[in-house]
Amino acid sequence: MKPLLLVALFGCFAAVFAAPAEKVRWCVKSEQELQKCSALAAAAPTFSCVRKENTLECIVAIKAGEADAITVDGGDVYTAGLSNYDLQPIIAEDYGSSSETCYYAVAVVKKGTGFGLKDLKGKKSCHTGLGKSAGWNIPIGTLVSMDIIQWAGIEDKPVEEAVSSFFQASCVPGATRGSKLCELCKGDCSRSQKEPYYDYSGAFQCLAEDKGEVAFVKHLTVPDSEKSKYELLCKDNTRAPIDNYRNCHLAKVPAHAVITRKDPQLADLIWKSLTSVQNFELFSSEAYAPAKNLMFKDSTQKLVQVPPNTDSFLYLGAEYMSIIRSLRKEQTPDPASSAIKWCAVGHAETAKCDTWSINSMSGDTTSIECQNALTVEECLKKIMRKEADAMAVDGGQVYTAGKCGLVPAMVEQYESELCTSSGTASSYYAVAVVKKSSGVTWANLKGKRSCHTGIGRTAGWNIPMGLIYNETKDCDFTKYFSSGCAPGADLASPFCTRCKGSGKSVGDEAKCKPNADEQYYGYAGAFRCLVEDGGDVAFIKHTIVGENSGGKGPEWARGVNSDDYQLLCPGKDPAPVSDYAECNLAIVPAHAVVTRPESRSEVVRILQVQQTMFGPSGSDSSFKLFQSDNGKNLLFKDSTKCLQEVPPGKSFEQFLGPEYVSAITGLRECSDTASDLEKSCTFHSCQQA
């Protein structure tokens, strides 16, 4: 009996430890906040309260599992996302029509004081707190970037010292006590309610009581009854009325966010708990006056779920992250490097990139360094974070990259004779291919099995699914196709059942993954899926059948005859594969190299040199840039003849063209067609402005 009793006890312990949290332990930083939280816990027993002295203590407590959630501003979202804490934003405050999930960082002054933003030297300043968005990161970052505050960087002196030298005196809660940055403060200069001039209302009070001459706050801080007495400082050195914040502000800033550990179950519990609260004013601090913005900002209208897998970087956006990093002394200048970091997807691409890097060496330096990731989206994130610089992607991925702030720098050209002419953009036809003997037509396509190059890809997904959506107005494409292979789909989806993976018999992690390790990924992979009866239709580009038939192509294509296949075109009869100009789903833009805007010219310069050496008519035959020995279309499409520069300043929408942008915008009516990355990049209206 004893062994059985022990087993039972261990089973109970396991159940206890495996059970998801039942309460949301909210972290609070003041007595007034504790009072409000306690009242919430009484109204909604799913909540309990944990008292700490400041935000950082709360972040540490959440990391340690002693608390679960707190609402913080952008600067603290950044801190919480650092690797030693590894927390993530899960819910954003929404401030209604005035700014939705963003707010404006503004500089407020008393009317009639007669100075502009560029005249702030020697003035007295009021800040919400050290490291906070509207009160420190944005205004100081702006003043430094405009050379109004002279600061050569951390090698020169700390930024706090530069600010101390610039302003006559300040109140910056959280700064070193006894310093000039605490001189105007009323309490202990802490980033807590013990300092009356802390936070938005405190910084405004510092200005209202004539302690300071400028207050750096958010656009909704000045009470309606007081607005006529105050003005905003604009970046062009003019002034504007308080309500003109849309045209006169320092920056748009992502809303305050609820942060927690990276635990989907906990995130779901927090969301459900907050949205089910009844008979309690979450967004009011009136009962605890004079305190304001307790637990949430009082100006919050509602809460909005942040897209899944959004980390602090994606939530805050590249521009805001750049400002924080520059002020947090993280951007130590790199030694001048002549290399660009290319991002490769999967093992086969990484191997080709390594070969490219070795061959690009001149003396002790290389022009190409390699980074890698499992998916294109992970590579795009690396480029956004400056961990990589560039990669070539298809039109659908150019769209996602553009939404995330990247730009097209060079475009693949598939016609040799056009390589010497500028202005003739390369393009290709998106086609639907079936076996001639199958009897499949566009009219009877519903219920068939489908082979796609990948989720979110142009010819393989966006174009055909956009057309199907226009016909059905149904976003559930599993109702249209019975099964298929669309690499990048959820593994449990019918769109993964026909995928082949890497060919391993057991434990195949490559199955349905959007990289070359999945044998049915990409153009050639989708056609192979059709050839090997994985599906009844393949959505690919017009050259693929010819490249993989008649004795051409890899081993699996041996014996494939192009005459055994035909094209489907909506509203017409099927046609031979050679009739792609008349029978296609759309003409789509060529693949393009994407990078960050500031890296564009360097990426173009290096790639132009590289293709002179390793292109089809290159001077160095040791490596072929547009040839794949251990796969297909690795790094670039094998049909590429050269890379051509995308004109400077050309946006991703202009590059893709109105027809394609219209098609993909229509497809985005189905929210599931946008990737997690694209949802994260388009979540904030402030990132789109």
| DSSP-assigned states of every residue in 335-389 | PP---EEEEEEHHHHHHHHHHHHHHT-BTTB-SEEEEEESSHHHHHHHHHTTS--
Question: Given this model, what pLDDT does residue 1 score?
Answer: 39
Question: Given this model, what pLDDT does residue 3 score?
Answer: 44
What's the rounded mean pLDDT across residues 406-418? 91
Q: Is the pLDDT higher at 17 or at 258?
A: 258
**Cβ atoms 332, 346 nearer than 8 A:** no
Predicted confidence (pLDDT) at residue 605 exceeds the cutoff of 70: yes
DSSP readout, 62-129?
HHTTS--BEEE-HHHHHHHHSTTT-EEEEEEEE-GGGTTTEEEEEEEEETT----GGG-TT-EEEES-
| Distance, CA of 67 to CA of 261 (rounded, Å) | 10
**Cβ atoms 258, 55 nearer than 8 A:** no
What's the rounded mean pLDDT across residues 343-369? 93
Predicted confidence (pLDDT) at residue 335 exceeds the cutoff of 70: no
- pLDDT bucket at 619, cuts 50 / 70 / 90: confident
Q: Do the strands 24-28 and 124-127 form a parallel or antiparallel pair, or are they unpaired? A: unpaired
What tokens appear for 307 in the block?
């897209």
Q: Which residues contact 333 (CB under 8 A, 6 or more apart)?
A: 153
- pLDDT bucket at 18, cuts 50 / 70 / 90: very low
- pLDDT bucket at 686, cuts 50 / 70 / 90: low
Q: Which helix (H) or strand (E) holds 206?
A: helix 199-208
Question: Taking the mean position of all CA atoms in its chain, how far away is CA 507?
Answer: 31
Other Cβ atoms closer than 10 A to 394: 29
3-state helix, strand, coil in the chain (%, to 5): 35, 20, 45
What's the rounded mean pLDDT across residues 552-559? 92
What's the rounded mean pLDDT across residues 375-402? 92
Amino acid at 348: A
| Mean model confidence pLDDT for the chain | 89
Predicted confidence (pLDDT) at residue 615 exceeds the cutoff of 60: yes
- pLDDT bucket at 326, cuts 50 / 70 / 90: low
Question: Given this model, what pLDDT does residue 423 score?
Answer: 58
What's the rounded mean pLDDT across residues 479-491? 95
Q: Is the pLDDT higher at 218 or at 331?
A: 218
Amino acid at 592: A
Collapsing DSSP states into helix, strand and coil, what is residue 170? strand
**Cβ atoms 365, 336 nearer than 8 A:** no
Other Cβ atoms closer than 10 A to 472: 13
Q: Which pTM value belongs to this model?
A: 0.72
**Cβ atoms 46, 30 nearer than 8 A:** no
Question: Given this model, what pLDDT does residue 79 score?
Answer: 92
Q: What is the pLDDT of residues 358-379, one digit of tens each?
A: 999 988 889 999 999 999 999 9
What's the rounded mean pLDDT across residues 397-420? 91
E runs forming strands in 439-536: 449-452, 483-485
pLDDT > 70: percent of the chain: 93
Q: What is the pLDDT of residues 164-197, one digit of tens each?
A: 999 999 999 999 999 999 999 999 999 888 899 9
State how far the alpha carbon of 173 is from the alpha carbons of 237, 317, 558, in Å: 27, 26, 72
Least confident range of 71-85, 94-108, 165-179? 94-108
Question: Given this model, what pLDDT does residue 646 score?
Answer: 92
Question: Given this model, what pLDDT does residue 657 score?
Answer: 85
| Distance, CA of 251 to CA of 217 (rounded, Å) | 11
Collapsing DSSP states into helix, strand and coil, what is residue 3? helix
Least confident range of 52-61, 95-104, 651-660? 95-104
Question: Taking the mean position of all CA atoms in its chain, how far away is CA 344?
Answer: 19
State how far the alpha carbon of 421 is from the alpha carbons of 32, 159, 432, 514, 631, in Å: 70, 50, 31, 34, 30
- pLDDT bucket at 240, cuts 50 / 70 / 90: very high
* 514 strand-pairing partners: none
| Distance, CA of 91 to CA of 347 (rounded, Å) | 36
| Distance, CA of 248 to CA of 402 (rounded, Å) | 26
Question: Given this model, what pLDDT does residue 665 score?
Answer: 83
Q: Is the peptide bond before 647 cis (omega within 30 degrees of 0)?
A: no
The maximal CA–CA distance of the chain, rounded, in angstroms, is 88
- pLDDT bucket at 17, cuts 50 / 70 / 90: very low
Question: Given this model, what pLDDT does residue 2 score?
Answer: 42
What's the rounded mean pLDDT across residues 622-648? 92
| Distance, CA of 688 to CA of 404 (rounded, Å) | 9
Q: Which helix (H) or strand (E) holds 271?
A: helix 264-275
Question: Given this model, what pLDDT does residue 14 score?
Answer: 39
Predicted confidence (pLDDT) at residue 20 exceeds the cutoff of 70: no
